[in-house]
Amino acid sequence: MAFVVAIDGPAGTGKGTVAKALAERTHFINIDTGAMYRCVTLECINNGISVQDEDKILQVLEKISINLEHQDGKQKVILNGKDVSQEIRTPEVDDMVAKFAALKIVRDKMTPLQRKMGEENNVIMEGRDIGTVVFPNADVKIFLDCSLEERSRRRYKQNLEKGIESNYQDVLKSIMERHKLETERKIAPFVKAEDAILVDSTNMTIDEVVDTIYSIIKSKIEEKNNGQSNN
């Protein structure tokens, strides 16, 4: 198996930015598993399929194609041949995605796809259940946390930068609702893996978070290499 770094954490911790920077430093591939759940959600929204209609969702899942492409240091999310990198980040998708991600049929399709990606490449894989379900034997497991207020503030600022209209209270409410759905769902609930290393980014800059995780990865790689050369 390749080298797998699992980074799990709630929305708005800066996970995406951190994973991207780590992928650049390590030359590993960054896999944003949240983007995959967002693709399923977007496809269902675009086809007027509600979260209750599991038969129709199954039909979508049977023919869905999701590709995470990496060009010039940027990740592109391709859904059924179309670049949806922006479309999957709208508040509409934000509000629905936790509901679709809670469905067993959806997770049963996404988890094996993610495992395959991690078996073929050295990866920095970010999500909610990477260290607990997708790769319980990941080489490095990080649980990236941050206070609810700071997460909401960061997400609100990101929206402003992207020209997406929102207000802080709505963002806070949406993040709280999603967090409740993600932590209370029956399948693959969002919890810290017992053996994950906790990094609390509330009072840290992105660079500090990247440096902290990078040094953990580096020492694990050295440990693994030494273990192999001693065998």
Q: Is 128 in the site for ligand DC (CB under 6 A)?
A: yes
Cα-Cα-Cα-Cα dihedral sign, residues 70, 72, 73, 77: negative
**17, 25, 34, 187: which one binds ligand DC (CB under 6 A):** 34
Site for ligand DC in 198-227 (CB under 6 A): none
Cα-Cα-Cα-Cα dihedral sign, residues 189, 190, 192, 196: positive
28 vs 32 by CB, closer to ligand DC: 32
The SS3 call for residue 82 is: strand
195 vs 222 by CB, closer to ligand DC: 195
Q: Is 182 in the site for ligand DC (CB under 6 A)?
A: yes
The SS3 call for residue 51 is: coil
Q: C-beta of 53: minimal distance to ligand DC in Å?
A: 19
Per-residue mark of binding to ligand DC, 130-159 (x: CB under 6 A): x-----------------------------
Q: Is 127 in the site for ligand DC (CB under 6 A)?
A: yes
Report how far residue 216's alpha carbon sits from residue 111's, in angstroms, rounded to the nearest whole number.
25
Q: Is 33 in the site for ligand DC (CB under 6 A)?
A: yes
Q: Is 79 in the site for ligand DC (CB under 6 A)?
A: no
Is residue 6 within 8 Å of residue 15, measured between CB atoms? no
Residue 143 burial class via C-beta count within 10 angstroms: exposed 0-12, middle 13-18, buried 19 and up = buried
Q: C-beta of 34: minimal distance to ligand DC in Å?
A: 2
**Site size with ligand DC, rule: CB under 6 A:** 14
14 vs 127 by CB, closer to ligand DC: 127
**6, 7, 11, 96: which one binds ligand DC (CB under 6 A):** 11
Q: Which of 136, 128, 72 is nearest to 101 (CA)?
A: 128
Report how far residue 56's alpha carbon sits from residue 61's, in angstroms, rounded to the nearest whole number.
9
Q: C-beta of 110: minimal distance to ligand DC in Å?
A: 7
Token look-up 């600022």 returns 157
Q: Is 43 in the site for ligand DC (CB under 6 A)?
A: no
Q: What is the DSSP letter of 27?
A: T
